[in-house]
């Protein structure tokens, strides 16, 4: 994974379905607040989905100002697919462990239905903060980025 222009600014790629949005299209609790904190921390946020480019969902939830771009997520051969992308993730956040293990990132607990008690975004933020400060996290949801990208 490549670093961006500064030591603290990172490209973080968030999955949509079951990570940020539930089955019914509802936004995961605290998503807006945590994404804003990540932007305030200097990170560049990208939204990607194996179900196409998702600007419509991002606009529906008023997240457009927090997101650099929406792109299509590879659904297989992740490392090689990312290698040919113009912008590469430094870290991915996804409910699919396979892509997190391949590229490095935070394995998000799956968010299916509205649940006001869900605090998954707080956990994601904490792990990203640990990674940004120390280059790793001991949290079991974290997978180290590959050095080969």
pLDDT score recorded for residue 8: 62
Half-sphere exposure (CA, 13 Å, Cβ side) for 77? Answer: 5
Pick the CATH number of 11-143 from 3.50.50.60, 3.40.50.300, 3.40.50.1000, 3.40.50.1980: 3.40.50.1000
**Whole-model pTM?**
0.92
H-helix or E-strand containing 48?
strand 44-49
Which residues, 6+ apart, have CB-to-CB distance to 27 below 8 Å? Answer: 20, 21, 61
Evaluate whether 18 touches 105 at the Cβ level (below 8 Å). Answer: no
Tens of pLDDT, residues 34-93: 999 999 999 999 999 999 999 999 999 999 999 999 999 999 999 999 999 999 999 999
Q: What interhelical angle do 31-40 and 120-134 show, nearest 10?
A: 20
With a pLDDT cut of 90, the percent of the chain lying above it is 91
């Amino acid at each position: 994974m490549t670093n961006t222009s500064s030591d603290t600014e990172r490209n973080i790629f968030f999955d949509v379905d079951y990570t940020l949005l539930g089955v019914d299209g509802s936004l995961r609790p605290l998503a807006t607040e945590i994404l804003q904190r990540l932007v305030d921390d200097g990170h560049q946020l990208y939204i990607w989905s194996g179900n196409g480019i998702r600007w419509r969902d991002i606009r529906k939830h008023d997240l457009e100002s927090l997101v650099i771009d929406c792109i299509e997520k590879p659904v297989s051969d992740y490392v090689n697919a990312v290698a040919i992308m113009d912008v590469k993730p430094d870290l991915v956040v996804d409910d699919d462990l396979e892509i997190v293990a391949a590229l490095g990132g935070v394995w998000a607990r799956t968010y299916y239905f509205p649940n006001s008690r869900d605090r998954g975004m707080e956990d994601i933020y904490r792990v990203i903060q640990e990674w940004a400060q120390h280059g790793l996290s001991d949290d079991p949801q974290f997978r180290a980025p590959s050095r080969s990208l």
